[in-house]
Amino acid sequence: MSQLIQLFPLLSILILLIFGAFLTPLLKRKKIILKLHIAINSLVTALSFITLFYVAKFGPFVFQIGHYPAPFGIVFKIGPIESSIGLMFSFVMTMVMWYSIFSLEKEIKEKRVSFFYILNSLLLASLLGIVYTSDIFNGYVFLEVSTLAACGIIIVKDKKENIKAAIKYLLLSSLGSGLVLMGIAFIYSISGHLNMTYIHGEIIAAASDKTNLLLISLILFTIGLGIKSAMFPMHVWLPDAHTNAPSPSSAILSSLVIKAPVVFLIKIYYLVYGIEFISNSNVFELLLIFGGFGMIMGSLFARRQKILKRLIAYSSVAQMGYIFLGIGLGNELGLTIAIYHMIAHGLTKSSLFLSAGSFIEQTGFKNIEDFKGIGKEMPVTLGIFTLSALSLIGIPVLPGFISKWNLALASIESGKIYLLAIILISSLLNAVYYFPIIINGYFGEDNLDGKVFRSKSKPIKELIPVIILSLVMVAVGFLSGSVINFIKSGISIM
């Protein structure tokens, strides 16, 4: 039985690729395609859930793919971090798919719908691959696949701006992947291995000898993966891409695609280089600076935006800043909170984007000003939006608060008190740009006359996935203690 469960990570990737991506072009009827994809995604979510339980009960395991043992073959290493992030990815993807059944055809051409589903399967498979794999080159290949698939789900909506956004993303992203590949070349020339555990052994032996080479490769990895995950000065592709894509794509891009490179970066830091080498270099200070600037500047940029989706996209930049700040603190709590915040932000931002998408879809407006008094027309959707926004602002019990609180504790623990000010300012700025939308949405008076209660609200059936997302988000906030303990158990064995 346990042998069967250890198969699940590979099995979920295989199912996604074979049935999700390769079978769909053969099918003609759209209803069958939709049902197939919902079924596949639910199955993958269930498999990830079982894997999570298995890991929680029996501890982490190593799964060998291919016919040769570890230094030659590829190895999946599934611990608490990998399994929980994998579960979050597949769950959010399932919910977004469910939402997109009702709304996708209003945004993109009918011919492209099956294309969207194929790309989503490919994307989820590659993201899960990045999270699970313990082979550095395999991770690079999955990273490239995810980039191409992410560009694909931007250009499914065949507008001018989408192509512009996609090419911007692709150019910067190929810059990043070139840097990552160069880093892999350096690492390979030092160690002669591709498996993370074996590289680590060789690096420790060579650390005193080839420090400069190791430092260069470390910077190459940090900047390369930082571009892909929208670290602050390299975030310029993100707002365009996330604004112009169709709303389900925006939700996926914002909550999944920019998280996977961070997981890869964490794996490289802790599994390849090891904590001793990393803390002797100055890379954590770099992450602190980039993360701190991202938290403040992202919020400042967001405050100036007039388009709703663009505001949410800039808020993503700020939230990625929290994650990098957590990693940059360099202690156990900081890293735990970075991973917890990845999960929390994934759930929050997807429900935020989906509810914003349903505002736009029902009213046809894009700008924030036009959404005054929307609460009368679409109370349920605005309720979900409010809940997610409150989580990002940091109202107690919701996951955003938990991560901010613990981030503050972690920065005190590491002796960097001035970071508290950054966290506080960033929360205030979050409140400054989210509260006007909520307040004007409920009480905006100048637009209110002529609007009928619930006149434009979506049928509750179509909102169920978003409601489930926000309920799970609240649950992650309530159960934060056990979630954080679980992640911590994964970090201690890393």
Partner 1 sequence: MNMLANNYLEVGAIILFGIGFMILLLHNNLIKKIIGMNIMDTSVFLLFITIGYIKGKEAPIIVGGKLNTIGYVNPIPAGLMLTGIVVAVSVTGFMLALTIKLYEKYGTIELDEILKMRSE
Partner 2 sequence: MKTKIIENIVKILIPLIQVFGIYVILFGHISPGGGFAGGSILGSSIILFRFVYGSEHTDKKYPYKYLMRTVSIALIMYGSLKGMLFILDHFGIDKIIPVGVPNTFLSGGSIIPLNIMIGLVVTITFYFIAILFEEGELEYEHASE
Binding of residue 160 to partner 2 (CB under 8 A): no
Q: Which of 381, 343, 356, 318 is nearest to 477 (CA)?
A: 343
67 binds, among partner 1, partner 2, none (CB under 5 to 8 A by kind): partner 2
Closer to partner 1 at the Cβ: 240 or 377? Answer: 240
Q: How far is the CB of 47 from partner 1 (least distance, A)?
A: 27
161 binds partner 1 (CB under 8 A): yes
DSSP letter assigned to residue 482: H
User: What single-letter DSSP state applies at residue 370?
Assistant: G
CA distance 461 to 380: 12
Among 31, 67, 160, 461, which residue interacts with partner 1 (rule: CB under 8 A)? 160
Q: Which does 66 bind (CB under 5 to 8 A by kind): partner 1, partner 2, none?
A: partner 2
Task: Give the residue, chosen from 36, 43, 65, 420, that forms a contact with partner 2 under the rule CB under 8 A.
Answer: 65
> Could you give the string, one character per residue 403-442, with x where binding to partner 2 holds by CB under 8 A and - elsewhere?
----------------------------------------
d(CA 213, CA 190): 8
Residue 166: Cβ within 10 Å count: 22
Segments in 245-364 forming alpha helices (H): 247-252, 260-267, 275-280, 283-304, 308-329, 332-363
For residue 272, state whether it binds partner 1 (rule: CB under 8 A): no
Burial class of residue 57 in the structure, from the number of CB atoms within 10 Å of its CB (0-12 exposed, 13-18 middle, 19+ buried)? exposed
Q: Dihedrals φ, ψ of 307, to 5°?
A: -95, 135
Residue 158 belongs to what H/E stretch? none
CA angle 114, 39, 483 (to 5 degrees): 115
The reply on whether position 25 binds partner 2 by CB under 8 A is yes
- Find the binder of partner 2 among 59, 66, 178, 192 (CB under 8 A): 66
The Cα–Cα gap between 389 and 299 comes to 13
Q: Where are the alpha helices (DSSP H) in 156-267?
A: 160-191, 196-206, 211-228, 237-244, 247-252, 260-267
Place of tokens 């938290």: 295
**69 binds partner 2 per the rule CB under 8 A:** no
Restricted to residues 99-138, the positions that interact with partner 2 (CB under 8 A) are: 111
Q: Does 50 bind partner 2 (CB under 8 A)?
A: no
Residues ≥6 apart with Cβ < 8 Å to 289: none
Among 155, 258, 347, 390, binds partner 1 (CB under 8 A): 155
26 sits near partner 2 (criterion: CB under 8 A): yes
Contact flags string 166-195 toward partner 1, x per CB under 8 A: xx--xx--xx-xx--xx--x--xx----x-
**DSSP assignment letter at 78:** E
Q: Is 215 in the site for partner 1 (CB under 8 A)?
A: no
Does 23 bind partner 2 (CB under 8 A)? Our answer is yes
Q: Map tokens 């000065």 to a residue.
A: 233
Q: Closer CB to partner 2, residue 124 or residue 297? A: 124
Residues 455-494 that bind partner 1 (CB under 8 A): none
Give which of partner 1, partner 2, none residue 155 binds (C-beta under 5 to 8 Å, depending on kind).
Answer: partner 1
29 binds, among partner 1, partner 2, none (CB under 5 to 8 A by kind): none
Only one of the segments 14-22, 132-140, 260-268, 387-395 lies at the binding site for partner 2 (rule: CB under 8 A); that segment is 14-22
Among 36, 46, 50, 148, binds partner 1 (CB under 8 A): 148
Per the listing, tokens 């209660």 go with 453
Rule CB under 8 A: is residue 115 a binding residue for partner 1? no
| Site for partner 2 contains 11 (CB under 8 A) | yes
| Cα-based distances in Å from 378 to 100, 308, 363, 371 | 19, 16, 10, 10
* Min dist. Cβ of residue 14 to partner 2 (A): 4
